[in-house]
Amino acid sequence: MELFVTDLDGTLINSKREVPKKSLEILNKLIDEGVNFTVATARTPATAVEILQDLNLKLPVALMNGVLIYDTKELKYIDIKGIEKESAHKVLDIFKSYNKNPLVYGVKDNHLWVYHKDFENVYEYNFYKERVDKRLKTFMQIENYKESIIEANIINFVAFDNYEKIKAIAKEIESIEGITVNYYKDVYEDCYFLEAYSSEASKANGIKYLSKYIDYSKVICFGDNLNDIPMFELANESYATQNAAEEIKKIATDVIGSCEEDGVAEFLLNRFKGK
């Protein structure tokens, strides 16, 4: 049995940050016909649920790069890969040494919280502005990170800045046991994006977790950026969109149409044509 898994930004959704109407029509028809299709993305429930609301998914999704397994219909956290408090404090110390205030994500009382200080650049503010009114996430401005996160299950750190600063911070975080850190050019902004989370989490491990719901023997995935590498390495077939990073294209089985051209949906439509 085949399982198809797609990333969202730069892969399934377009520059308007939505699943195009044509893709929705194709994918919903294929899902209704029995195609096993789901999503693995860096996004949180707060934005992913809204984007996916018209897609008739029957399987849970892997969110925040596999940190969360989430039921988008029941709005339910199925699995959470949290960060040990000691490791979280070490990450905060590194950010402090670079005079950088990250966004710190935590789950408390079955709700997603984002702890933050004053925003330092327009990229952080734009990120906040797009998400602040989402009902599944609450932003909380704080004065002291370590005091504020005591009761939360910390799951993720996010930061935006120039390449050199993000690279330097990431290199130090990499030395912390039990933490995975990714950094890459942001899809929408002219800056670099860093995210750090439990090493137990990855899009690949999120896909493995789905074996509790479907007895699949083959994984086919779609992606565009560096955080898709773990699931590309796991998959039997992996397809990069035309707009994908060159590193992803090099390891992909093949390159398909871009996120602006319904690349994932068109690929699946052609694959199942006549079946």
Q: What is the DSSP letter of 214?
A: -
Q: Are residues 160 and 257 in the same domain?
A: no
pLDDT at 27: 97
Final residue in a domain of this structure, among 198, 213, 230 = 198
Q: Fill in the amino acid letter for 222.
A: F
Q: Scan for tokens 């690279």, then name that residue.
A: 167
Q: Are residues 29 and 107 in the same domain?
A: no
pLDDT at 8: 97
Q: Are residues 33 and 134 in the same domain?
A: no
pLDDT at 84: 93
Q: Are residues 109 and 151 in the same domain?
A: yes
Mark residue 95 as left, alpha or beta (left: phi above 0; alpha: psi -120 to 50; beta: remaining).
alpha
pTM beyond 0.75, yes or no: yes
Domain of 10 in residue numbering reads as 2-80+202-271
For the stretch 52-89, pLDDT in tens is 999 999 999 999 999 999 999 899 999 999 999 999 99
Strand ranges (DSSP E) for 119-178?
137-141, 153-161
Q: Scan for tokens 């979280």, then name that residue.
A: 88
Q: Are residues 99 and 192 in the same domain?
A: yes
Q: Are residues 58 and 128 in the same domain?
A: no
pLDDT surpasses 90 at 10: yes
Final residue in a domain of this structure, among 159, 183, 198 = 198
pLDDT at 274: 61
Mark residue 239 as left, alpha or beta (left: phi above 0; alpha: psi -120 to 50; beta: remaining).
beta
For residue 123, the domain's CATH number is 3.30.1240.10
d(CA 220, CA 1): 11
Q: Are residues 216 and 185 in the same domain?
A: no
Q: Are residues 76 and 209 in the same domain?
A: yes
Q: Are residues 97 and 156 in the same domain?
A: yes
Final residue in a domain of this structure, among 183, 198, 213 = 198
Q: Are residues 9 and 114 in the same domain?
A: no
What is the mean predicted confidence (pLDDT) over 132-150? 93
For residue 239, the domain's CATH number is 3.40.50.1000
Task: Please say whether the beta carbons of 31 and 122 come within 8 A.
Answer: no
Mean of per-residue pLDDT scores for the chain: 94
For the stretch 225-271, pLDDT in tens is 988 999 999 999 999 999 999 999 999 999 999 999 999 999 999 99
**Which of the four pLDDT bands, split at 50, 70 and 90, describes residue 275?**
low
What is the mean predicted confidence (pLDDT) over 131-144? 93
Q: Are residues 8 and 65 in the same domain?
A: yes
Cα-Cα end-to-end distance for the chain: 15
pLDDT surpasses 90 at 187: no
Q: Are residues 243 and 147 in the same domain?
A: no
**Which of the four pLDDT bands, split at 50, 70 and 90, describes residue 188?**
confident
Structural domain count, the chain: 2
